[in-house]
Amino acid sequence: MKKEIKVDLDDKSYPILIENGILSECGSFLRRITAAQKIALLSAPAVYKAWGRELLKGLARKRFQPELILISDGEKNKDEKALSRILKRLASLGFQRDGCLVALGGGVIGDVAGLAASLYMRGIDLVQCPTTLLAQVDASIGGKTAIDFAGIKNLIGTFHQPKGVLIDPQVLGTLDNRQFKTGLAEVIKYGIIQDEALFAQFEKRPELILRRDPQILFRLISTSCEIKARIVSQDEREGGKRAWLNYGHTLGHALEAYFHYGVLTHGEAVAYGMWFAGLLSCRLRLCPEIVLRRQIAVLKRMGLLRKLPNFSPEEIYKKMFLDKKARKGRIQFILTRKIGLVTIQKNIAQPIILSALTQLRAEASERC
Ligand code: GLY
């Protein structure tokens, strides 16, 4: 199984290559996408221990001899210290404009690597080798880079498209179950916003998905990447439809921040966010109740609705305003019309939002 998908952005276009075992063959891919003379491999210790050798083998086959930069991953390390360490190492290694940074890791490694690559000498080449499902289907594609700053997630960032994205689904074999499921939340999201057949896979084949059957996993990853590539190709800077990718994220980000990032994973928070978006969509009569019920059933079956601790709707409402995607003081929601079709809504009255939050709080704690 092998698939190549193009992110079509004129002179910034790049390929996403998805293939089992491709890490140990990555040298040819790199030779094709970058003319870089010097390569630095950025990773986190545990990821490097698990997959670094495969990648180095692949690079050595094409006579690449990368320098290694290791940093700690985890959201609390996605900060200016990590960024500064990478930039200092690149400088001390004498990297020039013809250098290339290869990121091997999850979303934190990919986001910080992207920011460092965009800043160093006003921009060097970047290659993403994502090792979590979340990073494979979302963070590694589309050129968003970031660190957290002043207590706000992803506050400092740039757009810097990679030269290529190399996805080896085999690496997911070492991913822990909760992290695997957090990535599934984003795949479910792609189904809801664009592709009912993708969503239906979760209704028809839940056991195979949870067992990480290689064929279905390959299909979920490649379909998700195709959807993201298509949306980014049409709207790189999130002026319009790229905002669809934030389905479930308006509340999801607020819940993550409210619980200080330690209680819910990103995918779990987004799962409750999707439930909430479905709830709002029904209340505003944008879709029938069955659309919401199908979403809740799938999220529950995938183990994403663990336990939503008690929260204050008013506090969460305030946090949603802090989200950098709130435009001109208005919270923007992506809502469902049907599975596979969403719409952007900006003017939802505060009492409707607060009352839907109260309903979610009651139903989510009852259900779990
Ligand atoms: N993760 C949402 C985006 O890339 O736009």
Residue 108 CA, ligand 1 centroid: distance in Å = 14
Helices (H), 284-349: 289-301, 313-322
Active-site pick, 38, 89, 144, 160: 144
The reply to whether ligand 1 has any atom less than 6 angstroms from the CB of 78 is no
110's enclosing H/E stretch is helix 107-119
For residues 127 and 160, membership in a common domain is answered with: yes
Specify the CATH number for the domain of residue 67.
3.40.50.1970
The reply to whether ligand 1 has any atom less than 6 angstroms from the CB of 231 is no
Instruction: State how far the Cα of 112 lies from the Cα of 89, in Å rounded to an integer.
Output: 14
Which conformational region is residue 169 in: left (phi greater than 0), alpha (psi within -120 to 50 degrees), or beta?
Answer: alpha
Q: Which of 124, 145, 174 is the last residue of a domain?
A: 174
Average pLDDT over residues 134-151: 96
The residues with which 56 forms a beta bridge, in sequence order, are none
- Specify the pairing of strand 14-19 against strand 2-7: antiparallel
Q: Is the pLDDT confidence value at 12 over 80? A: yes
249: annotated active-site residue: yes
Predicted pLDDT at 331: 85
Long-range contacts formed by 5-10: CB under 8 A, 24+ apart: 5/222, 5/225, 5/226, 5/229, 6/229, 6/233, 7/141, 7/142, 7/161, 7/229, 7/232, 7/233, 8/229, 8/233, 9/161, 9/232, 9/233, 9/236
Nearest CA to ligand 1 atom 4: 142
122: annotated active-site residue: yes
Q: Out of 134, 227, 235, 246, give the residue to mutate to test ligand 1, the one with the largest number of ligand atoms within 8 Å of its CB.
A: 246
For residues 17 and 131, membership in a common domain is answered with: yes
- In the chain, % of residues over pLDDT 90: 91
For residues 95 and 136, membership in a common domain is answered with: yes
Instruction: State how far the Cα of 312 lies from the Cα of 307, in Å rounded to an integer.
Output: 15
Instruction: State how far the Cα of 156 lies from the Cα of 159, in Å rounded to an integer.
Output: 11
Q: Using alpha carbons, list the distances in angstroms from residue 229 to 137, 268, 274, 276.
A: 10, 24, 22, 26
| pLDDT band at 101; cut points 50, 70, 90 | very high
What tokens were used for 20? 């089992």
Look up the domain containing 94 and give its range: 2-174
Q: Give 58: exposed, middle or buried? Use CB within 10 Å, 0-12, 13-18, 19+.
A: buried
For residues 164 and 271, membership in a common domain is answered with: no
Q: Are 42 and 101 in contact (CB under 8 A)?
A: yes
Residue 139 CA, ligand 1 centroid: distance in Å = 7
Q: Out of 242, 244, 334, give the residue to mutate to test ligand 1, the one with the largest number of ligand atoms within 8 Å of its CB.
A: 242
Average pLDDT over residues 155-164: 97
Q: Is the pLDDT confidence value at 367 over 60? A: no
Residue 61 CA, ligand 1 centroid: distance in Å = 34
3-state secondary structure 11-41: HHCEEEEEECCHHHHHHHHHHHHCCCCEEEE
For residues 165 and 34, membership in a common domain is answered with: yes
Active-site pick, 38, 89, 249, 294: 249
What tokens were used for 278? 């479905």
For residues 207 and 152, membership in a common domain is answered with: no
Mean pLDDT of the chain: 95
| pLDDT band at 226; cut points 50, 70, 90 | very high
> Which pTM does this prediction carry?
0.96
The residues with which 333 forms a beta bridge, in sequence order, are 345
Q: Is the pLDDT confidence value at 365 over 90? A: no
Which residues 6+ apart lie within 8 Å of 53 measured at CB?
none
> What confidence tens digit (pLDDT) does each residue in 197-216 have?
999 999 999 999 999 999 99
Number of domains observed in the structure of the chain: 2
DSSP 190-251: HHHHH-HHHHHHHHH-HHHHHTT-HHHHHHHHHHHHHHHHHHHHH-TT-SSGGGGGGTTHHH
What tokens were used for 296? 């809740």
For residues 188 and 144, membership in a common domain is answered with: no
The reply to whether ligand 1 has any atom less than 6 angstroms from the CB of 138 is yes
3: annotated active-site residue: no
Q: Out of 132, 144, 266, give the residue to mutate to test ligand 1, the one with the largest number of ligand atoms within 8 Å of its CB.
A: 144
Q: Is the pLDDT confidence value at 69 over 80? A: yes
For residues 264 and 187, membership in a common domain is answered with: yes
Query: Which atom of ligand 1 is found nearest the CA of 231?
Result: 5
Q: With the C-alpha atoms ordered 203, 205, 210, 216, is the resulting torsion angle positive or negative?
A: negative
> What confidence tens digit (pLDDT) does each residue in 339-356 have?
999 999 988 999 999 999
Specify the CATH number for the domain of residue 292.
1.20.1090.10
For residues 249 and 103, membership in a common domain is answered with: no
Predicted pLDDT at 328: 62
38: annotated active-site residue: no
